[in-house]
Homo-oligomer: A and B are copies of this chain.
Amino acid sequence: MRDLSGRLEHLSLNTATVRGRWGLAEAIEGCARHGIPGICPWRDQLQALGVEEGARRIRNAGLKVSGHCRGGMFPAADAAGRRAALDDNRRAVDEAAALGAACLVLVVGGMPAGSKDLPGARAQVQDGLAELLPYARAAGVPLAIEPLHPMYAADRACVNTLKHANDLCDDLDPDGEGGIGVAIDVYHVFWDPELELEIARAKGRILGFHVCDWLVPTRDLLLDRGMMGDGVIDIRGIRGLVEATDYDGLIEVEIFSKANWWRRDPDEVLCIMAERYRTVV
């Protein structure tokens, strides 16, 4: 297991963590100022800055790009909606390629409005992935399926376990050609009794590892994530399982926190984040 107590060499900032106050330009400068070597931007912020300009600034700051957030959202109520989603995913792949991102993170989408057909949404996700994969391979951008916590099954991502994500990878890439894998966020998977087994099974296809913490109580389903150490997740234990698969990529901090971290001075957030990375992660 890697020793994180010294330099911040494996740390990456998902810019959502400071989006309460910072756009992408400020986040890039913040990473440089705090010695954080990695970044994962969000599409809206990248587009606001301009894709080429954002990529240039990230390059000039010497940052690695742990991922691009996010593609996915495949299911739609009709064929036109599904085509539009695929077109948008291709643009996301192009952006990730421009950034030199380690992967395109996929939040796969939930049920279309009014639908109660979860198996149908899951089939649409599989079809969408199958259609996107050749394009992503040609662009050299690995697709990272991120299983989201089951509380997002209906409206955000109907892939809710690492087992399901691993099954999709097996189905879509039966020969191990690559180009598709998983992103593991402790927040989404810590509860899973199959976690140890499925992390081992993900060996060689873990494209991203994300950390934050689960607060007790959690006051909002989406925007009340905790800083590492403030919650109940055995983050180091999960990191141990991930690194036992020989994962040696960046460790990305992604915290949606409307009532707390988004309100604070982002420089303070980065200071605390770096300290917790060294001591808790």
- A residues with CB within 8 A of B: 111, 115-118, 122, 149-151, 153-155, 158, 160-161, 163-164, 190-193, 214, 216-219, 221, 231-234, 237
Contact = CB atoms under 8 A, between A and B. Distances in A.
Contact of A234 (B118, B190, B231): B118
Q: How many monomers of this chain does the complex have?
A: 2
B118 A191 contact: yes
A96 to B, nearest CB: 27
Contacts of A218: 151, 221
A116 B233 contact: yes
Given A154-B232, A155-B217, A221-B217, A160 B191 contact: yes
Contacts of A117: 234
A178 to B, nearest CB: 24
5 contacts: A116-B237, A118-B190, A151-B218, A155-B232, A217-B221
Q: Across chains A and B, which 6 residue pairs bring their CB atoms closest together, nearest first? A: A153-B191, A150-B191, A116-B234, A154-B232, A151-B151, A150-B150
Given A217-B221, A218-B221, A232-B111, A193 B151 contact: no
A12 B231 CA distance: 38
Contacts of A233: 116
Q: Identify the interface centre among A153, A190, A193: most chain B CB within 10 Å of its CB.
A: A193
Given A160-B193, A161-B193, 7 more contacts: A116-B237, A118-B190, A150-B191, A154-B214, A155-B232, A158-B191, A164-B193
Contact of A192 (B150, B155, B237): B150
A182 to B, nearest CB: 15
Contacts of A219: 221
A117 B218 CA distance: 18
Contacts of A150: 149-151, 191-192
A89 B19 CA distance: 47
Contacts of A232: 111, 115-116, 154-155
Nearest to A156: B216
A77 B154 CA distance: 35
Contacts of A214: 154
B216 A154 contact: yes
A193 B116 contact: no
Q: Identify the interface centre among A149, A154, A234, A237: most chain B CB within 10 Å of its CB.
A: A154
Nearest to A150: B191
A122 B194 CA distance: 13
Contacts of A216: 154-155
